[in-house]
A and B are shown apart, each in its own frame.
Chain A
Amino acid sequence: MKDFKTYAKKVRGLGSAKAGVHHWIQQKFTAVTNIAVVLWLVTLMVQFSDFDYGAMLAYMQSPVNSIFAILFSVSVFYHAKLGLQVVIEDYVPSHSTRTITLLLMNAFVFAAMFVVLFAILKVAL
């Protein structure tokens, strides 16, 4: 039996998954916070050439820079997770491959985020 119904036809009337708006708002919110924390990183990169290990350590140990590093990690890594999620959802057609890819991506991004947070605290404290 051939099934000519489109996916849209099959799901219409079932109601929304109630997750799209949440994702969109989070993406926009982190986009705005990213501007501030990325500019902090750019100022760090510009000063980079003048820094040896001791100077960089002292710079990253100051509370303002530690806090900016933490905010950078949370905001940017989460924004990256939201963006990569959309890309994977758009380009991976098979349902099972897509689910596995999304799980792996989330695992990598959050693992990296927590490793970075640990390293920042280790430097700062």
Chain B
Amino acid sequence: MSQKNARPLSPHITVYRPQITSVMSILHRITGCGLALSLVFFVWFIIALAMGESSYNLFIYCSTTLLGKLVVFMIVFALFYHMFNGIRHLVWDTGYGYNIQNVKKSGIIVAILAVVATIITSVMIAV
């Protein structure tokens, strides 16, 4: 706390049971940070392509190792989760879907869409 006089704090997140609303909210932020970090791979890809064949082949070699594939899989999931949940946020911005049943419903829809899109894309990348 940057405040000089420590004043009493209200109960913080640790006292609450995780709910779909809170978990999806923090996941949006975590995937966002992860995606920002994963831009390093886009930078690497485009620089390697600009530098020539040997550096491009090194990029391909690294991204097709088991670790590379795992990282790509995680990036793809984060991408779709952040995208679908972002669309959910955009819908909220128009003023719709604010009551708690709809928030839970749209949360479940986003989770399903993210998983399905990740599986389809991963299979298409692998094949």
**Chain A positions within 8 Å of B14 at CB level:** none
**Chain B positions within 8 Å of A3 at CB level:** 4-5
User: DSSP class of B's interface residues: helix, strand, loop or mixed?
Assistant: helix
Q: Is A13 an interface residue (CB 8 A)?
A: no
CA distance A32 to B93 in the complex (A): 12
**Chain A positions within 8 Å of B89 at CB level:** 31
Q: Is A49 an interface residue (CB 8 A)?
A: yes
**Chain A positions within 8 Å of B43 at CB level:** 112, 115-116
Number of residues from B at the complex interface, CB < 8 A: 36
Do A77 and B39 contact each other (CB < 8 Å), given the known contacts A35-B87, A53-B57, A83-B32? yes
Q: Is B67 an interface residue (CB 8 A)?
A: no
> For the side of the interface on A, what is the size category?
35 or more
Q: Is B90 an interface residue (CB 8 A)?
A: yes
CA distance A46 to B57 in the complex (A): 18
Residues of B within 8 A of A (CB): 1-5, 7, 29, 32-33, 35-36, 39-40, 42-43, 46-47, 49-50, 53, 56-57, 72, 76, 79, 83, 86-87, 89-90, 93, 121, 124-127
